[in-house]
Amino acid sequence: MLTREKIYIAPSILSADFLKLGEEIESVVRAGADIIHFDVMDGNFVPNISFGIPVLQSISEIKKNLQQNIYFDTHLMIEKPERYIKDFSSAGADMISFHLEATYHPYRVIDIIKGEGKIAGVAINPGTPLYSLEPFLGVLDFVLVMTVNPGFGGQSFIENVVYKISELDRIRYQKNYKFLIEVDGGLNSDNARVVVELGADILVFGSFIFSGNRKQKIESIRKSISRSEAVLT
Ligand code: DX5
Ligand code: ZN
């Protein structure tokens, strides 16, 4: 189970070299990644199509060869996610998040994810206000705060939405909720420190990690956030 005792680094393989996806995953895990973030896009909810169930099934096989316990985090950017939760669960997802904007029945989707024994999260677009999430906060394992409009890697971080992170942190403290806060979009070693200080627990990095030496990139993130982690403990 995920805990609030540490900060999780989650490379998004959307920016990896698909010709050698297996090697890419092994290299970021060796370099210290905790979670593999898997971005599923349907060309409908978002204007792009990425990969889906068979690809997840193949890469899940890698888990058997890994020394440490790695979580596969499936970020569903698809309309009516309730149609596919069981398929992604059987294909090897450990964490599953869907977009609040993509379904009429968020409670039902959370129930399906939990019924599968998986870690359940809800994602919100930059334009979605936090109050629409409030009815679900007590039952969620994590909230995914989007800091770019979903659909593509390599976009610029939208600073104006970071208030959602501190607000979520305040609400969970006040109500004793257990959810973790994941931040996704435009992160690098500089703004990572800022979002951790505001309360983020899981950090997704696509283009930052996969655009250079993976090990050096992950080390630079750890170094940058270590000061904020020290403050947290
Ligand atoms: C965007 C995806 C992100 C993306 C992050 O729709 O949800 O996970 O891959 O990539 P960067 O870090 O390049 O913004
Ligand atoms: Zn994502």
Where helices occur in the chain by DSSP H, the ranges are 21-30, 53-60, 85-90, 106-115, 163-175, 189-198, 214-232
pLDDT of residue 116: 98
Q: Which two three-digit tokens encode residue 96?
A: 């599953």
Substitution site in 9, 24, 39 for ligand 1 pocket (most atoms within 8 Å of beta carbon): 39
What DSSP designation does 155 have? P
pLDDT of residue 56: 98
- Partner residues linked to 35 by β-bridges: 71
pLDDT of residue 229: 65
pLDDT of residue 64: 86
Task: Tell me if 162 sits within 8 A of 198, measured CB to CB.
Answer: yes
Q: Which two three-digit tokens encode residue 221?
A: 């993130």
Helix crossing, 189-198 with 163-175: angle to 10°?
Answer: 30
Q: What pTM was computed for the model?
A: 0.97
Query: How far, in Å, CA of 170 to CA of 164, rounded?
Result: 10
Query: How far, in Å, CA of 16 to CA of 4, rounded?
Result: 28
Burial class (CB in 10 A: 0-12, 13-18, 19+), 181: buried
Q: pLDDT by residue for the chain (233 residues), tens digit each?
A: 899 999 999 999 999 999 999 999 999 999 999 999 999 999 999 999 999 999 999 999 998 888 889 999 999 999 999 999 999 999 999 999 999 999 999 999 999 999 999 999 999 999 999 999 999 999 999 999 999 999 999 999 999 999 999 999 999 999 999 999 999 999 999 999 999 999 999 999 999 999 999 999 999 999 999 967 655 54
Substitution site in 50, 74, 207 for ligand 1 pocket (most atoms within 8 Å of beta carbon): 207
pLDDT of residue 232: 56
In three-state secondary structure terms, 216 is helix
Q: How many other CB atoms are found less than 10 A from the CB of residue 215?
A: 14
Among candidate residues 39, 73, 141, 201, the one labeled active-site is 39
203, amino acid identity:
L
